[in-house]
Amino acid sequence: MSEHIISLQGVTKEFDTKGGKVVALKDINLDIDEGDSYGIIGLSGAGKSTLVRTINLLEQPTEGKVLFDGENLTGLRSKDLNLKRRKISMIFQQFNLLMQRDAIGNICFPLELAGVPRADAEKKALELLKVVDLEDRAHSYPSQLSGGQKQRVAIARALASDPEVILCDEATSALDPKTTRAILALLKKINEERGITLVVITHEMDVIKQLCKKVAVIEGGEIVESGKVTDIFAQPKTQAARRLFFPDEQKMELENRGKTSTKNRLRIVYDGRSAYDPTIANMIMELRAPVNILYANMDVVGDEQKGQMVICLADDEKIADKQKKYLKEHGVNFTEIKEEEE
């Protein structure tokens, strides 16, 4: 199917507050394909939570269309919308489980809403508990479960209605790093094995790196950059993307402000294969000109190993040009870092 499973077209959301109108989303255009694991990253207040809520119309957009499987959801009557919502599950930062129901009861809940007979619902819930590795806690109440276990129940609940999409709203932000990795691995497995499309809202780049293939960077209610995670990681076009993808660089820049030259700075991103070629060392020896290494780091993006390095070339423009040429000839991808305009 070539059609996008989710397509936001010109979505704008305004809130009326006491202080006047606040524009939370500005002309958002976003296409998500079936089977994607699509990340939406932004700092708090960027509008990402509002954005994800427009997909299942928990937030009614002020303007624009929300297409799901090619059908415009904004025009539907609430009864029809509720039927569509069963195909778009959602998991939350605070899990949002029913405190008065045990794990099985929570997983059965969406099935109960859909009128599935109790026995069938319970059978399915038990199977889903196995999927999320929690068979032994079927009759535990949320208050008896850890954060990670609660999110597993929430994921099983999200799977119960056989959704096409799962929206993850900061699903791991309340969890410790180890539990976060386990939950992300589970979501990845669900995406890969069941072909369920994931839309992942987060402020953490690690979540995007581990889970997503595509990403949209949102800032001030606008999508400023979007595409494959590996592409944006290699060459972020906007300040916003750079800030999110390379937070260490920001820190480094602050610490080194005034101490090092800001001229001729490059960011080099290389993948696992070229990581071991001593290109920089060779360049220094061949051109007999120094290079200052300001920062270097290895990262795993998706399943690929990616390294990045920030170097400072010679102050002399002529030598710097030679160095750039050398790098290009040796197939090293780099972007020049311009002085921040602040």
Partner 1 sequence: MDAATLTGLLWEGLLQTLYMTIIATLVAYIIGLPIGVSLIVTSPNGIKPIGWYNKVMGFIVNVIRSVPFLILMIALMPYIRKLIGTGIGTSATTAALIVAAAPFVARMVEQSLLEVDPGVVEAAQSMGASNMQIIRKVMLLEARPSLLNGAAVATITILGYSAMAGSIGGGGLGDIAIRYGLHRFQPAIMWITVIVLVILVQIMQEIGIKVAAKLDNRIN
Residue 109 binds partner 1 (CB under 8 A):
yes
- Whichever of 79 and 338 has its CB closer to partner 1, that residue is 79
Minimum CB–partner distance for residue 170 and partner 1 (Å): 12
Residue 84 binds partner 1 (CB under 8 A):
yes
Do the Cβ atoms of 199 and 188 come closer than 8 Å?
Answer: no
Residue 196 binds partner 1 (CB under 8 A):
no
- Beta bridge mates, 88: 165
Residue 44 binds partner 1 (CB under 8 A):
no
Query: Regarding beta strands 63-68 and 222-228, do their DSSP bridges make them parallel or antiparallel, or are they unpaired?
Result: unpaired
Residue 94 binds partner 1 (CB under 8 A):
yes
Position among 7, 37, 50, 89 found at the interface with partner 1 (CB under 8 A): 89
CA dihedral 133, 113, 49, 190 (to 10 degrees): 30
86 phi, psi to nearest 5 deg: -65, -20
Which residue's entry shows tokens 């010679």?
314
Q: How far apart are the first and last CA of the chain?
A: 46
Q: How many residues bind partner 1 (CB under 8 A)?
A: 33
Residue 86 binds partner 1 (CB under 8 A):
yes
Do the Cβ atoms of 186 and 106 come closer than 8 Å?
Answer: no
Cα dihedral 16, 47, 6, 94 sign: negative
Interface positions, 152-191, toward partner 1 (CB under 8 A)? 161, 167
Options 18-26, 30-38, 76-84, 204-212: segment touching partner 1 (CB under 8 A): 76-84
Residue 23 binds partner 1 (CB under 8 A):
no
Chain positions contacting partner 1, by CB under 8 A: 56, 58, 78-79, 81-86, 88-90, 92, 94, 96-102, 109-110, 112-114, 141-144, 161, 167
